[in-house]
Amino acid sequence: MKPRIYQADTMAGALAKVKRDLGQRAVILRTRTVKSGGLFGVGARNRVEITAGEEMPYLPAQPTGEVAPARSAVAAPIPARVTGPIAEAPVPQPPVPAAFQRELQDIKSLVQRLVQTQSRDSLSHLHPQLHQAYTRLIQNEVAEELAADFIGRINDRQTDGRPLDPATINEFLVQQFARVMAPGAPIQLTRKQGRATVVALVGATGVGKTTTIAKLAAQFRLKQGCRVGLVTIDTYRIAATEQLRTYAEIIDAPLEVVLTPQDMKPALERLRDCDIVLIDTAGRSQFDREKLNELGEFLSAAEPDETHLVLSATSSHAVLMKAMEEFSSLKIDRVIFTKLDEAVGIGTLLAVCRKLDAKLSYVTTGQDVPSDIEESDGRKLAEMIVGGARAGNN
C-alpha cells in the first residue's frame, strides 16, 4: 500500500487521523513539522505531518524446485462429531530485524521531541518572568511537561494582565511542588504480635541501599536508643555483606545472612527482641524479571511492615520511570531518594511523586554515616527545586 500523508495542528490530531484511516495496522514512517497556509510564507502556521502506511503481513518463504505432493485418493476418515473449541496451531513469527527496531526507536524519540517542542511553543506568548522560571525548572531536571503545566497554571491566574513578580512566582511553585511531594513519611516503629518492626529496602544496583541501611541503623541505634537488627540477602556481592557486617559491629547490632526465602522466618525469629530489623536486598536490574520475582519470594517470606524503594537522584527520568514500573510489583510503601548532592538537579523528584502511589521517607545527601540522611521535607525540597540549590549547598 502506498504511504499516505496526514496533517493536523497537533500531534494528537494527526495520530487520530492515522488511526481513523488505517486502524491497528498503521505503521508510522516519518513525522515532521511543516509550514501551512499564509501567502508567500507570511502568516503560515506550524502543522504536524505524519507519513504512515499499512502494515504488510509477513509471507512465508516459498520453497523452490519442489513439487507439491498430490492429494491422496483415499480421504481421511471424518469424525462424526467434534466437541469443544478447536485450537489453532501457533504461527511462528519471524524475528524483527534490528535495523527496524532502531528505526522505530528513532521515530519514537522524534515524536517525543516534537511534543516537547509544541509544549515550548505553547509558552511563547508568556511574560519573560514566566519564561525565566520555566527555563530554571528545566535546568533543575523538572520534566518539560510538568514545568509547562505549572507555569501555565500561573499564567491562568493573571486575571488583570499584569506580570507577576519573581517572588510571587517562586512561592506559587514552592506551594504546588510541596503539595505534590506531600509531607515526609519516615519509618514508624510499631511492634506487632511480639516481633520487631521489619523494614526492607529494595532498588537497582548502585543506588546506595547498603550505605542507606547503615545510616538508618546508626540513626535508630545511636540517636533513638533502639535495638536494631540487620538482615542481608545480598550474597551476590561479598563486599556488600562485609560492609554491612562492619557497620553492624560498630553499632553493636546482630546481623543475619539469609541465603534462601526459607531461611528468612528463622532469621527474623532470632531477631524478635529487636525494636527494628532492616533488610538489605541485592541490587536488581529493573529489566531482569526473573531476579525481581526471586526478590519477591524473599519479601513474601519476610512480610515487612514497610518496603522502601531506593532511587538515585542521579538517574535519568526514563530510568526512574522504568524502575518504578517494575519494582511496584513488590508493594512499595515509601521512596528513599539518594545522592542528592551528586545530582545536577533534583526536579526528578516531582515526576516520581506524581507517578508512584507512595510517599518520600528519606533523602541522602552524602556518604557520611550516619549524618548524611534526613527525613523528607516537601517544603524544603520544593524550595531547592525552584531555587536550583543542591543538597548541602542550600
Last residue of a domain, one of 121, 141, 169: 121
Same domain for 290 and 371, yes or no, is yes
Same domain for 209 and 325, yes or no, is yes
Pairwise CA distance, residues 150 & 170, whole Å: 11
In a domain, 82, yes or no: no
Query: Is the pLDDT score of 125 beyond 70?
Result: no
What contacts 179, CB < 8 A, 6 or more positions away?
A: 378
In a domain, 98, yes or no: no
Give the residue, 67 or 178, on which the prediction is more confident: 178
To the nearest whole number, what is the mean pLDDT of the chain? 77
Give the residue, 190 or 379, on which the prediction is more confident: 379
Same domain for 269 and 346, yes or no, is yes
Q: Give backbone dihedrals phi and psi of 335, rounded to 5 degrees, phi first.
A: -130, 135
Which pLDDT score is estimated for 166? 85
Lowest mean pLDDT among 140-144, 310-314, 339-343, 353-357: 353-357
In a domain, 211, yes or no: yes
Same domain for 239 and 301, yes or no, is yes
Same domain for 144 and 211, yes or no, is no
Pairwise CA distance, residues 107 & 114, whole Å: 10
Same domain for 269 and 340, yes or no, is yes
> Is the Cβ–Cβ distance between 6 and 18 less than 8 Å?
yes
Give the residue carrying C-alpha cell 508568556. 126
Same domain for 41 and 17, yes or no, is yes
Which pLDDT score is estimated for 100? 59
pLDDT per position as a tens digit, 306-351: 999 999 998 888 888 888 888 888 889 899 999 998 887 888 888 8
Pairwise CA distance, residues 359 & 186, whole Å: 9
Query: Is the pLDDT score of 354 beyond 50?
Result: yes
The count of C-alpha atoms lying within 13 angstroms of the C-alpha of 104, restricted to the half-sphere facing its C-beta, is 8
Which pLDDT score is estimated for 326? 84
- Model's pTM, two decimal places? 0.65
Same domain for 285 and 366, yes or no, is yes
pLDDT per position as a tens digit, 264-296: 999 999 999 999 999 998 766 655 677 888 899
In a domain, 148, yes or no: yes
Number of H helices, E strands in the chain: 12, 11
Query: Is the pLDDT score of 92 beyond 70?
Result: no
In a domain, 63, yes or no: no
Confidence bin at 228 (pLDDT 50/70/90): very high
The candidate with the shortest Cα–Cα distance to 337, out of 244, 213, 207, is: 207
In a domain, 209, yes or no: yes
Q: Where are the alpha helices (DSSP H) in the chain?
A: 11-22, 98-121, 128-139, 144-156, 166-181, 209-218, 238-250, 264-270, 289-302, 317-327, 348-355, 378-387
Query: Is the pLDDT score of 104 beyond 50?
Result: yes
> Is the Cβ–Cβ distance between 354 and 150 less than 8 Å?
no
In a domain, 271, yes or no: yes
Is the four-CA dihedral 273, 279, 280, 281 of positive or negative sign? Answer: positive
Which pLDDT score is estimated for 308? 95
Average pLDDT, integer, range 220-224: 91
Is the four-CA dihedral 70, 73, 74, 76 of positive or negative sign? Answer: positive
Give the residue, 308 or 89, on which the prediction is more confident: 308
Same domain for 257 and 341, yes or no, is yes
Same domain for 130 and 38, yes or no, is no
Which pLDDT score is estimated for 141? 84
Pairwise CA distance, residues 287 & 17, whole Å: 34
The H-or-E segment that residue 51 falls in is: strand 45-54
In a domain, 75, yes or no: no
In the chain, the number of structural domains is: 3
Which pLDDT score is estimated for 31? 72
Same domain for 149 and 171, yes or no, is yes
- Give me the CATH number covering residue 284: 3.40.50.300
Same domain for 174 and 205, yes or no, is no
Grid cell digits, residue 197: 518492626
Pairwise CA distance, residues 37 & 16, whole Å: 21
Domain that holds residue 131: 125-181
Last residue of a domain, one of 121, 152, 172: 121
Grid cell digits, residue 78: 471424518
For residue 26, what are the β-bridge partners? 54
